[in-house]
Amino acid sequence: MLVNKVEICGVNTAKLPVLSSGKMRELLERMQSGERSARDELINGNLRLVLSVIQRFNNRGEYVDDLFQVGCIGLMKAIDNFDLSQNVKFSTYAVPMIIGEIRRYLRDNNPLRVSRSLRDIAYKALQVRDALVGRNSKEPTVAEIAAELNVPREEVVFALDAIQEPISLFEPIYHDGGDPIFVMDQISDERHLDGQWLEGLTIKEAMSKLNDRERLILKMRFFDGRTQMEVADEIGISQAQVSRLEKTALKHMRRYIADNTEKND
């Protein structure tokens, strides 16, 4: 989403400043003393934090400019409510508030309809959660939120689950500098354990062109319905390596099948 994207909402992200912890504290003290220019400097000095957070919401089909603006609202709330007396880093406090603001925006724009009563409980729970974070500088438990609302814990859990936005199967959950691991890579397929998609002489021939490790990985993944993590544990390599080997093997098979299809045409 952010590849080759330098300017967002008119902001040149390549030139965003970074504030030291000492400068952050100085600006927060000045802002809390009533100096408005210090607040503006704090916002500008923490836009990189917003930029890093919105990268978690790739593959949602949302405009990056919209997410950036919503994230800035969360940042401003964090700046206005941060308690200097608490022994906690500003980023530790701000990131959950930025994420919460973006999630609220995504929920409000979710095409799936949720009943008003559930939505009201969920939004009240989120407001209480933000208030408790501001008061205690730590994430509250569901039981604490339920106690503040005076409703059963189960109702809070059900309401929050009801408004949770769907997660894309292509959302990255791990990255080691190579190929990312996506949600779909963590899901085994229990409906097609017979490897129906690999049937046919041409595909079997393509499998025979792979090396032993590549064949073993494809067999475990697509015949046995194993996840990449299970394969990694079985053969003693990392999940990232399994992902790379799997993609390479499939690429070789596609090329072999394409070449043979052209010859037969």
CATH of residue 143: 1.10.10.10
The reply to whether 160 and 188 lie within a common domain is: no
The reply to whether 130 and 157 lie within a common domain is: yes
Question: What token pair was written down for 140?
Answer: 């509250």
In a domain, 92, yes or no: no
What local confidence, expressed as pLDDT, does residue 179 receive?
A: 56
Domain boundary among 22, 57, 87: 87
Contact 251, 210 (CB under 8 A): no
Contacts of 164 (CB under 8 A, 6+ apart): 107
What local confidence, expressed as pLDDT, does residue 191 receive?
A: 47
The reply to whether 182 and 148 lie within a common domain is: no
The reply to whether 70 and 139 lie within a common domain is: no
Q: 224-233: which pairs have CB atoms within 8 A and are 24 or more residues apart?
A: 224/193, 225/188, 225/189, 225/190, 225/192, 225/193, 226/188, 227/185, 227/186, 227/187, 227/188, 228/181, 228/185, 228/186, 229/186, 230/188
Cα distances (angstroms) measured from residue 171 to each of 37, 45, 109, 136, 196: 38, 28, 19, 32, 26
Residue ranges of the chain with per-residue pLDDT less than 50? 1-5, 176, 191-199
The reply to whether 160 and 176 lie within a common domain is: no
What local confidence, expressed as pLDDT, does residue 15 receive?
A: 72
Coil, helix or strand for 69? Answer: helix
> What is the rounded CA–CA span in Å between residue 199 and residue 197?
6
Domain boundary among 166, 182, 207: 166
What local confidence, expressed as pLDDT, does residue 76 receive?
A: 92
- Which one, of 150, 107, 113, lies nearest residue 128 by Cα? 150
φ, ψ at 11 (rounded to 5°)? -100, 125
The reply to whether 151 and 178 lie within a common domain is: no
Domain boundary among 145, 166, 187: 166
Q: One-letter amino acid identity for 140? A: P
DSSP label at 170?
T
- Considering just the CA atoms, what is the radius of gyration of the chain in Å? 24
Q: Which domain holds residue 219?
A: 172-264
The reply to whether 127 and 158 lie within a common domain is: yes
In a domain, 97, yes or no: no
What local confidence, expressed as pLDDT, does residue 163 receive?
A: 64
The reply to whether 143 and 118 lie within a common domain is: yes
State how many domains the chain has: 3
